[in-house]
Amino acid sequence: MRNTRQPSPSVLDALEEWVEAGLVTPEQSRAIRQHEAEQRRPHAAVAVQRSPEAGPSLVVEALGYLGGVVMLVGAGILAGMLWPDLSVPLRLALIGATAAALIGAGFAVPDRLGEAAGRLRSVLWALGVGASAGFFAVFTTEVLDRYDEHALVVVGPLTAVVAGVLWWVRHTWLQQLALLAPLLVSAMGVGMELTSTDSSWPGALVWFVAVCWAALSWAGRIEPRTTGVAFGVLGGVLGAITMASDVGIALALATAVAAAVLALWERSLPWLGVAAITLLWTMPRAADAWFPGRLSAALTLLATGGALVGAAVWVARHQGSNPPS
């Protein structure tokens, strides 16, 4: 079957002869040439129309980042200058207006900016969550007269509600981190409420919440999956190492080893990197507590480093064609 979309060079070259022979008119010849020229353009035209406007998008994104930071700095300077003279309602109004402006600006970012819009919106919302935490902290201490751990059990959950709504609207790693942080603060506050003396409850509850977060992320319930597991593992190890006992050291070490095993099972280099960080946090402390002496610490570091290098090589060699970013 003849392909009519492919122009014939011999026909185009013969147009002048056909005009001279009277087979076609000059107007028809020009129309044929114009038609064939237009048949060669569609792909280039589409490519030009679909190319992103990188310049304006980057400028808007940079100005958005700068504006958000400037807003927070300006609010901080203003609060520092006038804070003692401001009444509690004015303090709350100042911080609340800053939080509302940042969150509202995130919603106002136009989607036509493409990926730049998503990044800018995530940053503005994360800053808005931080400002919301400041608002709830002032409200808790100045209005409810609650301090220390009694304030954490109020500030943490309220901030988590704001962060959770924003994460529900847009599942990004920055919104994910903004949600996990107040949840861990809430767990710490609850743990401190459970006892009036130094204990392992705060660290244990932080570990529990973080591990649950990592498990839900691994199961796909919390997205993005890769960063969810990473943040959960880091939070779990940090919670465990704050426990002033051998149980805390063992729990942190077990979490780090489990993270390494999971990374090998999933063949994930990002998770293996997180596991390496947690092992470097826990292995020296475990060696110092259970096998005191310079030699044991050095041998522990050598063994850990060698195992991590071997694991990295194994994952790199056995990864699929589309490794996780």
pLDDT, one tens digit per residue, over 275-311 is: 888 888 888 788 777 776 666 666 666 777 777 677 7
State mean pLDDT over 135-147. Answer: 93
pLDDT at 140 over 90: yes
For the chain, the distance separating the N- and C-terminal CA atoms, rounded to the nearest angstrom, is: 46
pLDDT, one tens digit per residue, over 51-76 is: 444 555 666 667 777 777 787 787 77
Confidence of residue 16 (pLDDT cuts 50, 70, 90): confident
pLDDT: which is higher, 44 or 241: 241
Structure tokens at 71: 């807003």
pLDDT, one tens digit per residue, over 162-190 is: 999 999 999 999 999 999 999 999 999 99
Sequence spans of domains, the chain: 76-193, 198-325
Confidence of residue 7 (pLDDT cuts 50, 70, 90): very low
**What's the pLDDT at 211?**
96
**What's the pLDDT at 169?**
93
**What's the pLDDT at 4?**
46
Mean pLDDT for the chain overall:
81
pLDDT: which is higher, 299 or 220: 220
pLDDT at 43 over 50: no
State mean pLDDT over 128-143. Answer: 94
| pTM for the full predicted model | 0.72
**What's the pLDDT at 46?**
41
Confidence of residue 324 (pLDDT cuts 50, 70, 90): very low
pLDDT at 228 over 90: yes
pLDDT, one tens digit per residue, over 236-271 is: 999 999 887 788 889 999 999 899 889 888 888 888
pLDDT at 137 over 90: yes
19-33, 42-56, 190-204, 228-242: least confident range: 42-56
Q: Which of 300, 146, 172, 161 is nearest to 224 (CA)?
A: 172
Residue percentage of the chain with pLDDT more than 90: 38
